Every structure is written in C-alpha cells, then in structure tokens.
Structure 1
Amino acid sequence: MKINQSNRLKAQIEEEIATGALQPGERLDEASLAARFGVSRTPIREALQQLSIAGLIEHRRHRGAVVSAPDPKQLLEMFELMAEFEAICARSAARRMLVSDEAELKTTLEACRRAADAGDTDAYYYENERFHRAIYIAGGNAFIADQAMALHRRLAPFRRLQLRVRNRMKTSLGEHEAIIDALLNGDGNLSASRAYAHVAVQGERFGDLLTSINRAAAE
C-alpha cells in the first residue's frame, strides 16, 4: 500500500504526539517542521490539516496549530466508545454484508497476515486500518461508519503504540481471524463480542498502553 508524503508526515507527527515528544499545548510551526523533516511547507500543511480533522491538533487564535492530546482518563473513555462502535458495526455486518464486502474483508485480513509474518508493525498498522474500515462499511450504516472512522483516526497514534507491546501484533491478527470467522458464519452477537474485546483496552491492556507511551516518551 503506497503512502504519500503528507500521510507519512502525518504518521510521524501523530506518533510524536502519542509518545509525548510533542506535548499538549505545544505549538506546531509549519516552517520549523518543514525544516526538520526536510520537505516543503505544502505537505506539512496537508499533514496538519489531517491531524486537525482527526482531533489531534487544534488551531488557536494568535498561536496557530497546537497539540491537543487526551489525558489517560479521557483516553480510556475514548477506547470504551470505540469498542462499542466496533461491536455495533460488526453485529450489523454479520447480517448485512455483501459479497463485495466479504471479499474486501478477506483481502484486508490477508494483508494483515503478511505484515504480521514480516514483523512489520508500520505495515500492519495501515492494513489494520483498512480491516476495520471494511467492517464499518460492511455494517451498511454510513452515519455510524463515519463516526467510527472519526474516532478511529483520533485514536490512531495510540493504536499504533499498542502494536509495539510484546506479541500484540500476533495476538491482534488472531483476533482479526476470529472476528472474520464469526462474520462469515453470520453470527451477529459473536461478531459483536469479539470486535468489542479486540478494541477494549481495560485492565492490563490499558496499563500496557500507558507503559508504552511513557517508555517511548523517555527515549
């Protein structure tokens, strides 16, 4: 999957936000970022626009673009809502998905498997995004799909960090396979419960995520 320059810059900046390298309230100056990444201001501006849409930065009067990141409590609440969205979409997809949806789900699952086999967390991150989007679309409710994607983008940098937890990528792939199995069997309740569990980060998993954020920030 080819990633253009502005998307690559977006991924780099969002990871710095997630790891704490860029702190909440910190100003993001286009000229400084362009010089640091060795690019023109145009792809930086495009990347910042994408981050603004995702809710990771905000534009303040007299300051321009600044980092807007959630605290741990808000982050947990956002993951809880994300898990609910996943369950809703999966339950609907089990009933409503078309042949084309099924084909896309299988394609994205295979792409995730290739990335996992290669141990490539960055590739897995992007293919994982495609996998979840395919479920949202297969649910057949465009409004819910849009809301799910908006929150998915908001949590993107933190979901990326999750993949660095030991064995998380392999575990994630197994969870994808279980979700697909339930979807193809048309079991709405099982699809929903597996999709919810896949995204929920309560307990140890949330602790692992916070540890990853803190360790990355210290590097």
Structure 2
Amino acid sequence: MKNRSTELREALEEMIAVGTLSPGQHLDETELAARFEVSRTPIREALIQLASMGVVVIRPRRGAIVAELGPQQLVEMFEVMSELEATCGRLAARRMTVEEQQALQAAHQACKEALDSQGPDDYYYRNEAFHEAIYAGSHNQFLIEQARSLYRRLRPYRRLQLRVRNRLSNSYAEHDGVVQAIISGDGDKAAELLREHVMIQGQRFSDLMASLPQLGKQAA
C-alpha cells in the first residue's frame, strides 16, 4: 500500500510531466500542502523523492524548483535514451515470451486507437505503455530501471514532442516497424528503429526547442 508521500510524489511528477508545473517553477511547500490538504511533512518527503529522481532540484535555503534542462543537456539525455531503448529492443526481440509479444501488440493497437481519435494526451499515455512493454521484454532488470529513470526525467519533453504537427502519425508508423522487428526476432533491426525513433536531432530538435515555451502554458 502506498504511503501519502509516495502518492504526492506521483501526483507532482504527473503535474510536471503534463506542464501544470513548468521547468524552473518554484515549488512552495506551504502552497502545495494547502493544495493537497496535507501537512508540509509529506510534501517535503515527496519533493526529496523527486529530487533523487532528478525531476526536482532542492536548493539550500531557497527551496525546490522543477528541474530545467538546457538544449545541450536535452540532446545528451535523448542520445542516451535512444541507446537504452535500442538495447531494450534488441534484447526484447530475443527474449520476449509469446504473452509479452501479445501485450506489445495490444499496446500498439491502443496507440492506433488514440491516433484515430487525435488525442495527443491519450496517445502520450498509450505510448508510454508501449515503451514500457519493450522494457519489460528485455528481461534485464538493471536496464529496465535505468530506462525508466531516464524516461521519467524526459517525460515533459517527450510529451511535448507529440504535439508537433504530424508527430503522432509518424510515431505510430515508427512503432509499427519496431513491433514487426521484435516479433520476427530481428534484434538488430529493432535496435536500429528504436534508436531512430527516440533520437532527437535536426528538425525534431528544432521543433522541440520552438515548443519549449508551451510547457509552462499547457495548464493555462
């Protein structure tokens, strides 16, 4: 059973992911305690948890802020993310059970339904489940933990990417190739496709940089 600070951590993490709390925003413990109708203690514990994940930065005597990622740091983190996902895909192609392959196909179908309804937020959550299915299929717990940790730090930015024009349909088409490669057992192809799917460079980087100001406005 989750304790209150863990529930608060998850709620705050979600608010950061969807832009309700934007990069660089000050996180006032008193305001958050009033918002969630709790004392400051579980809020402080939740912020410490988020800081350990790199999602929040706690500054001595100045309180906590939502972590900000500069352009160079974003590129470097997406570069590492693409390699982690590529490795997950390569291992998943070799190790996925039939049941896990079916779960991956179901997650892919769920993305198709979200695409058809043109709901970027819905697609974002289905997309997260799709990638999680690939992580699980790698059967490497250390790799899964590292991939999840970095995915969490990049959530606001991965979500923002999906709002770029035509990105939903392109993302789904890329998923389709990944699924086929994994199901057919072609680990090298799965790795190559996932690396390209996650890597942010060229026009995709320009689009993300242009979209960053929207992060703080999505809840408005």
TM-score, length basis structure 1? 0.84
The Cα of 1:10 is off from its aligned counterpart by 3.0
Corresponding residue for 1:13? 16
Contact 2:22 2:215 in 1 (8 A): no
What do residues 67-105 of structure 1 show as CA deviations (whole Å, max 9, x unaligned)?
A: 221110010000001000111110111111112211210
Q: Deviations over 1:168-218 (max 9, x none)?
A: 011111111110011111111111110111000111111111111135557
| Alpha-carbon distance between aligned partners in 2 of 1:42 and 1:85, rounded to the nearest angstrom | 39
Distance across 1 between alignment mates of 2:126 and 2:216: 25
**In the TM superposition, what whole-angstrom CA distance separates every residue of 1:25-77 from its partner, at most 9, and x where no partner exists?**
x4301332455xx5424799386466434412022332332222111001000
Question: In the alignment, does 2:116 pair up with 1:131?
Answer: no
Classify 1:23/1:180 alpha carbon distance in 2 versus 1 (closer, same or farther; 3 Å): closer
Q: Give the match for residue 3 of structure 2.
A: none
Deviates more, 1:121-130 or 1:188-197: 121-130
Report if aligned partners of 1:31, 1:41 keep a CA contact under 8 Å in 2.
no
- Number of aligned residue pairs: 210
> In the aligned structure 2, how far is the partner of 1:47 from the partner of 1:124?
27
Structure 1 distance, partners of 2:68, 2:114, is 28
- Mind listing any 5+ residue stretches in structure 2 that lack a counterpart? 1-6
Alignment CA distance shift 1:22-1:183 (3 Å): closer
Deviation at 1:165, TM superposition (A): 0.1
Residue aligned with 1:119, SS: coil
Q: Which residue identity lines up with residue 13 of structure 1 in the other structure? A: I
Task: State how far apart, in whole Å, the 2-side matches of 1:114 and 1:54 are.
Answer: 32
Shift of 1:106: 1.2
CA distance in 2, matches of 1:116, 1:217: 25
Match of 2:37 in 1: 40
- Equivalent in the alignment of 1:209: 208
CA-based RMSD: 2.6
Aligned AA (2:177): A
Secondary structure in 1 matching 2:64: strand
Aligned sequence identity (%): 43
Q: Distance in 1 between matches of 2:146 and 2:8?
A: 26
Counting only pairs closer than 5 Å after superposition, residues 17-36 of structure 1 correspond to structure 2 as 22-24=22-24, 26-33=25-32
User: What is the CA-CA distance between 1:139 and the residue it aligns to?
Assistant: 0.9
Distance 1:68 1:148, change over 3 A: same
SS in structure 2 of the partner of residue 16 of structure 1: coil
In structure 1, stretches of 5+ residues that fail to align are: none
**1:5/1:23 CA distance change after superposition, 3 Å:** closer
